[in-house]
Homo-oligomer: A and B are copies of this chain.
Amino acid sequence: MTLSGPDTLDSGALAELDELRLSDVDKALPSAANGLTKTEFLGTQPRLSAFSTPVMVLDETAIAGNLDTMAAWCEAHGVDLAPHGKTTMSPVLWDRQIRSGAWGITLANFGQLRVAVRFGARRVQIANSLVDPTALRWLAEQMDANPELEVLMWADSPQTVDAMTAALADVTVVRPLPVLVELGGEGGRTGARSVAEAVKVAERIGESPALRLAGVSGYEGALAHDASEESLARVRTYLRSMAELHRRLEAEGRYPEGRDVYVTAGGSAYFDVVAEVLAELAGGRTKVVVRAGAYIIHDDGFYTGISPFGRGEDRQARRLTSAMHTWARVVSRPEPGLALLDAGKRDVPFDEGLPTAQAVAGQLGAAPRPLVGTEVTAVNDQHAFLRLDPARPEHDLRVGDVVRLGLSHPCTAFDKWRWIPVVGDDSDDPVVVDLIRTFF
């Protein structure tokens, strides 16, 4: 492994991505890219106008700004960051998150963990229980082979701990696997439903020869879905119970000596409340780790509405910008108030709000004019329905025009693309400075 620094990913493995050969079987890539490596293709300084629709585009300036904004916020609030890497499933973007100061990467499951380890990640949190025996044995082997690899997992019941222990019974575990006890909340997702139950889980972890207790975890995002005072209060109460659990485990001496302890919560919606309630636990061997993952891309939809940077003391001071949008083409104007676009469920996210039309141009790379007052009302597999106002002359879209769509929910945007072009400037026909490879 070639490592560029103490915490970064494997620069050799990342460099291999630059040498992958491109093909137009991957959506939106120009046929001129066929057979070229990514490096060779980028060397031709391709412009956005060379791509075909639909095409999802990332914005380098927005990504860099979002990385800086989140790093500054974490520093200001005394918390660590293990961004959820499921959002992008892009090792290159994970590496940038780590270089911006992130402690490590959070992931959801075994498949994602294998991608991270393949690319040299050494600090990973699986925000889930890993109970597949094959997965646990694979992980024990990897940790045995690589003393620098640290993979935290979660457990929320004694049965979960027993399943993990049983799976590792016939494996030599050189370093016991670190496990966080997960506290949940009534009506939530995973997690023990009370502090008392969670303590029993911690106890069981302590008894396992293959595991060690490494902290407390939770996901407040399962308990609320908006930024109302009621939702924020529910989140706050839940986080206080996480703090209570951590203090109790500490007081009872349940954390093994000489090892780091983690208290982790905080998706992309409430990390401000997490810092408010939990940051005071950080210090000594205890790290408070938030897991917000969407911030690097942000959006023009759900996350814009719920981002902590849109409220409270950060309202003026900090701002995330959507780093993604999609260009789609008008393929039909069958009625005065309706345009059909060539982007559908296979191309744009539709689960946390539909796309919104932001601008229109005669072709990719031409000067766009803003579009306001339109609405995407439905998506089919390969089409979007864009409703127009026939009374507004600027809504007179023509067949062949291209429409810039703002998107909601980066997680279900990224998983529809294998290579995503990154533009480096805000001209009408920007140069594509990178292609981001995803691993879904």
Q: How far is the CB of A331 from chain B (nearest CB, A)?
A: 5
The interface residues of chain A, by DSSP majority, are classed as loop
Taken together as a complex, chains A and B put the C-alpha atoms of A160 and B156 apart, in Å, by 58
Contacts A25-B439, A399-B160, A415-B416: A332 and B190 contacting too (C-beta < 8 A)? Answer: yes
A129, B332: Cβ atoms closer than 8 Å? yes
B86, A382: Cβ atoms closer than 8 Å? yes
Interface string of A160-173 (1 = CB under 8 A from B): 10010000000000
B415, A31: Cβ atoms closer than 8 Å? no
Residue A394 lies at the interface, judged by CB distance under 8 Å to chain B: no
Residue A96 lies at the interface, judged by CB distance under 8 Å to chain B: no
A346 is contacted by which of B52, B334, B385, B415 (Cβ under 8 Å)?
B415
A334, B193: Cβ atoms closer than 8 Å? yes
Chain A residues within 8 Å of chain B by Cβ, number: 70
Q: Give the interface segment out of A107-115, A230-238, A299-307.
A: A107-115
A160, B332: Cβ atoms closer than 8 Å? yes
Residues of B within 8 A of A334 (CB): 156-157, 184, 188-193
A383, B190: Cβ atoms closer than 8 Å? yes
Taking CB atoms and an 8 Å cut-off, the chain A residues in 330-345 that contact chain B are 330-335, 340, 342, 344-345
Nearest residue (CB) in B for A382 is B108
Residue A61 lies at the interface, judged by CB distance under 8 Å to chain B: no
Interface string of A421-436 (1 = CB under 8 A from B): 0000000000000000
- Pick 12 A–B contacts, CB within 8 A, sort by A: A50-B134, A52-B110, A129-B399, A131-B400, A132-B329, A157-B334, A159-B333, A160-B399, A189-B385, A190-B332, A350-B351, A418-B440
- By Cβ-Cβ distance, the 4 closest A-B pairs, closest first, are A190-B332, A108-B382, A131-B400, A27-B111
